[in-house]
Amino acid sequence: MSKLQFTKAFTQQEAIPEQAKQRVMELLDSGRLHRYNTVGNELSDAAMLEQEYAQYQGRKYCLACTSGGYGIHIALRAMGLQVGDEVLTNAYTLAPVPGAIHAAGGKPVLVEIDENYHLDLADLKAKAEASNAKILLLSLMRGHIPNMQQLMTLCNELGIKVLEDCAHTMGASWNGIKSGNFGQVAAFSLQTYKHMNTGEGGLVVTDDAEIAARLIMHSGSYMLYERHGAAPAPEVFENIRLVSASMSGRMVNMRAALGLAQLPNLDKNCERWNHRYNLLNAAIGAVTGVDIPTRDKRESFVGSSIQFRPTALKMDQMPDFIAACAAQGVELKWFGESQPKAFTSRYDSWHYISPMPHLPSTLEALDRTLDLPVPLTFDDEDCLLIGAVIAQVMAEFMAH
């Protein structure tokens, strides 16, 4: 049997909507790219994005900023993080998450995950009680949402404030409540491979007026905070405006224009991702020797990526399996790999964390975890072909 070959790029995104291109040209013609370069009561594109995303998310306040990671950084500061404070966070995440804690002067306290990539609540309780941490930075890594009722109940009992990292859960929900509406603050990413593509960008939401005011001041508003689209009343700023350090991370109007054009199609695109995910889940899940963790029916996730484990392989076979899939056009990322590669890194490669913990449950969960992005540029036939390639390569390995 001849080897199947997949030829499309896993990094190719869909074109930006036409109205965004037109708006960007208008901005370029005007020269008014800065979010505060407005006339009279005019709302900038960045302020309009804040308004519209706050309405979409169902939260009172929203800040548009340069990236999701930057949003996490200033959210930690706005929530009261002081230099040297410990912050609880998932051991399974991407490097900018503990990086934001470290950059804000905090000390990451890594919490185990379980076999379904969810934060281990027993370990969370133990780590919270053993540390002085008062904040949990909950990374909803690759869109896997834990039982949020149980998690929030535990955090409330422990006096832990929750900052949700929703980089992979924009448009998702748990038991009918949108991801990003559980914690005190939530941060979203608009980076190219997320659910809205502005190249880079971030949105931070909260219902807490003082936190919102601090976020805006930290973002570099100077005394122009009244020009924001979803901000608290001016009097909220009076007590904090002179003591909240400015760390310029403003969203520019061109990026905001890209986000504004994509937001109306977000829910429809989430459905399109899930259609592709379901095809891949069925095709890959049917392969002998492969395991895909079951997802809770209360989790309305967005399937913009899929994770699976070739449990039939030995650990020393993993690099060869990945290389064989790549030779047939299917690019897989390995979260269990001991050395960082591209965007992927395991927790024990973040050497600024000291002392480095040993997290056996996390290592076991990630040992064979392979990751596959699901761009909307793939069609049904592409998804079925990817599944067939993985099946063919696995069959060859099992035959030997």
Grade residue 400 by pLDDT with cuts at 50, 70 and 90.
confident
Grade residue 302 by pLDDT with cuts at 50, 70 and 90.
very high
Check if the beta carbon of residue 169 is closer than 8 Å to that of residue 198.
no
- pLDDT mean over 63-70: 98
Between CA 389 and CA 139 the distance in angstroms is 31
pLDDT for residue 1 is more than 80: no
- pLDDT mean over 3-26: 97
| pLDDT tens track for 197-212 | 999 999 999 999 999 9
DSSP state of 13: P
In the chain, what is the greatest distance between 2 CA atoms, to the nearest angstrom?
73
pTM of the model: 0.97
Check if the beta carbon of residue 306 is closer than 8 Å to that of residue 287.
no
Q: Parallel, antiparallel, or unpaired for β 86-90 and 107-111?
A: parallel
β-sheet bridge partners, residue 230: 62
Q: What is the per-residue pLDDT for 36? A: 97
Across the chain, mean pLDDT equals 97
CATH class of this structure's domain 266-399: alpha beta
| pLDDT tens track for 245-267 | 999 999 999 999 999 999 999 99
Number of Cβ within a 10 Å radius of residue 3: 12
Q: Is 190 exposed, middle or buried (CB count within 10 Å of its CB: 0-12, 13-18, 19+)?
A: buried
Q: Which of 37-46, 48-57, 168-177 has the lowest mean pLDDT?
A: 37-46
Q: Identify the CATH assignment for 18-264 out of 3.40.50.720, 3.40.50.410, 3.40.640.10, 1.10.1040.10.
A: 3.40.640.10
Domain borders along the chain are 18-264, 266-399
Grade residue 328 by pLDDT with cuts at 50, 70 and 90.
very high
